[in-house]
Structure formats: C-alpha cells, structure tokens
Amino acid sequence: MKKLYKSIFSVALLLCGLTVSLTACSHDGGETPEKPNTEDPSSGGTNPNKPNPDTPQQKGDSILAQLVPTPAAKSGQDLEGFLVGDKIYYDLKITDAKGPESSTYTLDLEGAGRVENHRQIGKDFALFVAKVKADGSAKDWNEVKSFPYTLPSKGDYRLMYESKTDGTFDHKYQLKRQSKGKSDSKITNLPIVFYVLDVDIAYAVEKLVLDDRVGYLMGIKVKCGSLPTDKLLETFDPNFPKGRSYTFKLVYKGEDYTDSFQPNVYQRFYHSGYVLYDKRKGEPDLDYSSRDIEDLIITIKTAADAAPLKFRYKKLRVRRDDNWRRK
C-alpha cells in the first residue's frame, strides 16, 4: 500500500490533490454499491479501488469504463496540489463493447446535493463535460447543472471541476446504459477522491511610533475544509496517533523558511527587521516585486510510521492584511 501511494504522489498529488482511480466493475441495480475508500491515503490500509488489469470482465458486466486524472501534458493543470478556484480534470473512457451504437449513458453522482464530502454542485464545485477529440484536446464544454447527466454515446470524455471551496472531495459516480429510453445495464461505480487546500499568505506593515522606521511581517494559514468528513487537516487532539505532524517549507526572496503549523491558524515565518522609510514618498508598503512566494511544500504525516503526503505550490501571491496576527 505504501508503495502504491508513493507512486501516486510522485505522479499526481491531488489534492489538495490525491486521486483514486479505477477500472470500474458493475453491480446489479438492486445492490448497495460498495462504499468508496475514505481511509487516509497514508494510513497503510488496503485500497479496494485499485484497478486490477489481470481481472477479466465478467459475463454479466455491462460497461467497462475508466475515470482517471487527465495527464498534466494534456490538461495544463499542476497535479501536485489543488487550491480553491483551480480547475481539476478527469478523463472518462466508456468502452462498452456490448452496447449498441445508438445507446446513451447516464452519469449520476451518488449523494448529489449532500453537504458531506462536498457534493453540492454549484456551491462546492462546478462541473463541465466535453468530448475528447482525436488529438486529445477537449474544447466544447457543457455545464452539468444537475444529476443524472446524459452522455450521448460511448467514447472518450473529459470532466472539468472548478473548485469553489476547500476540503476532501469524495465523489462516487454511477454509470448506466440507456437503450430506447430504458436502462439496460448494471451500475458501474467510478469513485474519485481529491483534496483542495486553502492557502493564505499575508503580510502586515508595522510602523514604529517613535521614529520613521517600518518592518514587514508575514504569516501563512493552511486549511482543508471544516466538515466532519474533512479529515486531512484536523486540529490536534490528544488521541491522535503519535508522530502526527503538519509542516511547511517555502522559498521567499531566495531564502528557505520551514516550520510546523496548526490548521486554520496563522503561523509567522518572516520579519524583515526595521528600516527607515522616506515619508515624502507616501505611506510605506512592500515592494510589488517582493510579493511572491516562489515555492511552497506542505507535508502532512498522520502517524510516525505513515508515508508523508506532500502538496506543492508555486508562485503564490502574498496579500496585505495588517490585522492577520490578530485573526
């Protein structure tokens, strides 16, 4: 299991960005679909959603489909970490050798509209679908405003999320074939999990009262949702496993800054020291060219023996907030 997730993180951290993908198997419509794996990905537990290419499609299965992260080369997305407002892409491939060419397909989100796991379309996320062209591109996007959503045929599609909030997005899609207006297949389950982080980096201008000196202070705050289902970053508890830790390492103006942090709490990492400023030039402020964080790596360890989860972000903008230390 550890090898599996180390491999996944080396390719795509979703997350704010870990993603669970699979070649889906089908279930009878009357069955209760298997619950998606919501176990922390670094816990060392088994992953029931791992694709098994050695398992042939069963005789009773109706649809063979895959829902996997779109390669970065095709989507342009940075797979190492997702922030609020980012676009997140998945490729949906419907093979369905048994289905007539005239068949349509319904894509449904289990528990759509529920607050848990951020399944409120329009509030937690917006979703768009496009057919993938022969050259691998997808341009003609159609917004999914409700579920179930009808796909006109088998083939290759691309899903585009627009994240509107931070947290753990644990979504299980259900795919079914429609022929002559009626469902004629079993349910194919397509679960995905990814993390969206909210990273806020602020600076304050601190003017001394007695003379014309000024200093600049910076702090960072990281959170990943506030629902009971958002387990990635939780406030420390005495019952947490030994060795649980949250740390950051960032590069600002060519210098490295590393420290631990508490979720949703500002952690100071920089103080410029006090320097004289010229009142004739107006109120002091940080130079515009000094408002970028060059690189940020957030490392999460859920236990001493757990593989660390790492999220990486580049070129983050620092905003001014003279009151961030009091928040």
In this model, does residue 18 exceed pLDDT 80?
A: no
- Can you give the CATH number for the domain in which 88 is found? 2.60.40.2410
Mean pLDDT of 30-35: 37
247, 164: one domain: no
CA 145/CA 126 separation, integer angstroms:
8
Residue 87: its pLDDT value, please? 94
Q: What is the 3 state secondary structure string of the chain?
A: CHHHHHHHHHHCCCECECCCCEECCEECCCCCCCCCCCCCCCCCCCCCCCCCCCCCCCCCCCCCEEEEECCHHHHCCCCCCCECCCEEEEEEEECCCCCCCCCEEEEEECCCCCCCCCCCECCCEEEEEEECCCCCCCCCCEEECCCCEEECCCEEEEEEEEECCCEEEEEEEEEEEEECCEECCCEEEEEEEEEEEEEEEEEEEEECCCCCEEEEEEEEEEECCCCCCCCCCCCCCCCCCCCCEEEEEEEECCEEEEEECCCCCCEEEEECCCEECCHHHCCCCCCHHHCEEEEEEEEEECCCCCCCEEEEEEEEECEECCCHHHC
69, 190: one domain: yes
For residues 161, 163, 166, 172, the Cα torsion angle rounded to the nearest 10 degrees is -30
Q: Give the pLDDT confidence of 220-251 residue by residue, as tens digits.
A: 999 999 999 999 998 877 777 788 899 999 99
184, 83: one domain: yes
Domain-terminating residue out of 194, 228, 249: 194
Q: Above pLDDT 70, what percent of the chain?
A: 81
Q: Give the pLDDT confidence of 76-87 residue by residue, as tens digits.
A: 777 889 999 999
Domain-terminating residue out of 177, 194, 211: 194
Domain-terminating residue out of 172, 194, 216: 194
CA 152/CA 195 separation, integer angstroms:
30
66, 115: one domain: yes
181, 294: one domain: no
The pTM for the full model equals: 0.78
Q: Give the pLDDT confidence of 96-138 residue by residue, as tens digits.
A: 888 888 999 999 999 999 999 999 999 999 999 999 999 999 9
Q: Does 10 reside within a domain?
A: no
In this model, does residue 66 exceed pLDDT 70?
A: yes
281, 204: one domain: yes
* Residue 6 main-chain phi, psi, to 5 deg: -60, -40
Q: Does 208 reside within a domain?
A: yes
CA 174/CA 33 separation, integer angstroms:
9
When mean pLDDT is compared across 2-11, 153-162, 231-240, the lowest value belongs to 2-11
Q: Does 3 reside within a domain?
A: no
Q: Does 210 reside within a domain?
A: yes
183, 229: one domain: no
Residue 62: its pLDDT value, please? 58
Count of the separate structural domains present in the chain: 2
Q: Give the pLDDT confidence of 165-209 residue by residue, as tens digits.
A: 999 999 999 999 998 888 888 899 999 999 999 999 999 999 988
> What domain range is 129 assigned to?
18-194
190, 209: one domain: no
